[in-house]
Amino acid sequence: MAEAEMGHTNAKVPSKLVVNELVISYENLATGEMTEAVDKVSLDIKAGEFVSIVGLSGCGKTSFLNAIAGLIKPQSGSIKVDGKPVVGPGHDRAVVFQKVSLLPWRSVLNNVIYGLELRGVKKNEARQLALKYIEMVHLKGFEHYYPHQLSGGMQQRVNLARALVCEPEILLLDEPFAALDAITREEMQNELLLLWEQTRKTVLMVTHQIDEAVLLSDRIIIFSARPARIVEEVKVNLPRPRTPRLKNDAEFDFLAKKIWGQIHTTAGKKVSLEYEI
């Protein structure tokens, strides 16, 4: 339903990512039972679109993102980037994980270079590119620092730069700022907003911060509790370029409340279960 609607409204812009009836399940190694994480989710993301997936923790949104990254194999359904099916990790996608996971024995510069190095890009060329993106995330002057010498926010900037430097077709963000404190998180949201305005990459972000999703996205997809299904899609028609000041806007507030309500009504069953226990 939602997919068809999108197809009509944005028919002129080519699709960057098309997901069709994706099913992801995990096998419990002890019992051999299959647990469904994602149940027949279809999605169509246009080039240059910023789409967020929101839902309760553990609803399967990270599994969904990992499948698109090519890190886990779906049970059925298809994922296509620019019409080509995804069979594993690839250079057309770059992931920013919630856990920063920088290589602790590498300097900032060498961490940012990592993806390019794996791909066999020439040292000099990789270096130039890396320096450009390090500057873009405002870490100029910290190239030769090691991760343990940086704050959490700075580490996450390195993480972002490491993904951006690969110049992927699609940037996949998995709760990228969830581990940061509130102030740093806002700062990073603003940073990401600016970066996105500059690069206009196609972005798929998973988050449970509703205000983060509204601030950054063109479209927000609400996942139900596990197994994840699409409950609703919400278009965010707030004008761009946006700034964090938008959070005081009445429409912003309205959207945020609406999404909050949706998540919690669909999750009603699960929440009450938790309370019973």
Partner 1 sequence: MKSRNHQVFVRKFKEEFESVILGGGVIVALLVLWEIASDLRWINPMFSSSPSRIVNSGWKMITDGSIFIHIQSSGLIFIYGYLLAAVVGIPLGIMLGWFKKASQALGPIIAAFYTTPRIAMMPLFIIWFGLGIGSKLALVFLSAVFPLIVNMQAAVSNLDKDLTRVAEAYGANRRQIFWTIALPESVPFLLTGLRLATGRALLGVVGAEVFGGAEGLGYLIQYAGATFQTDIVFVCVIIIAAFGMVMDRSLLALNRRFDAWRGNGC
* Binding span for partner 1 by CB under 8 A among 15-23, 94-102, 205-213, 246-254: 94-102
Is residue 146 at the binding interface for partner 1, with CB under 8 A as the rule?
Answer: yes
Is residue 73 at the binding interface for partner 1, with CB under 8 A as the rule?
Answer: no
Among 59, 86, 166, 255, which residue sits at the site for partner 1 (rule: CB under 8 A)?
166
Contact present, 25 and 37 (Cβ < 8 Å): yes
How many residues sit in the footprint of partner 1 (CB under 8 A)?
27
Is residue 239 at the binding interface for partner 1, with CB under 8 A as the rule?
Answer: no
Q: Which residue has the tokens 């500059």?
A: 198
Phi/psi at 29 (5° precision): -65, -25
User: Which residue's CB is nearer to partner 1, number 105 or number 275?
Assistant: 105
Among 48, 90, 187, 199, which residue sits at the site for partner 1 (rule: CB under 8 A)?
90
With CA atoms as reference, report the closest residue to 268 among 225, 220, 227. 225
Overall residue count recorded for the chain in this entry: 277
Q: How far is the CB of 101 from partner 1 (least distance, A)?
A: 4
Is residue 34 at the binding interface for partner 1, with CB under 8 A as the rule?
Answer: no
Among 22, 56, 67, 100, which residue sits at the site for partner 1 (rule: CB under 8 A)?
100
Is residue 104 at the binding interface for partner 1, with CB under 8 A as the rule?
Answer: yes
* Binding span for partner 1 by CB under 8 A among 20-28, 100-108, 186-194, 260-268: 100-108
What stretches of 11-107 show up as alpha helix (H) in DSSP? 61-69
Q: Which two tokens stand for residue 109?
A: 């510069």
Specify the amino acid at residue 102.
L
How many Å apart are CA 161 and CA 138, to the nearest integer? Answer: 10
Between helix 152-164 and helix 108-119 the angle, nearest 10°, is: 20
Strand bridging mode 84-85 / 76-81: antiparallel
The contact set with partner 1 (CB under 8 A) reads 69-71, 89-91, 94-95, 97, 99-105, 114-115, 117-119, 146-148, 150, 155, 166
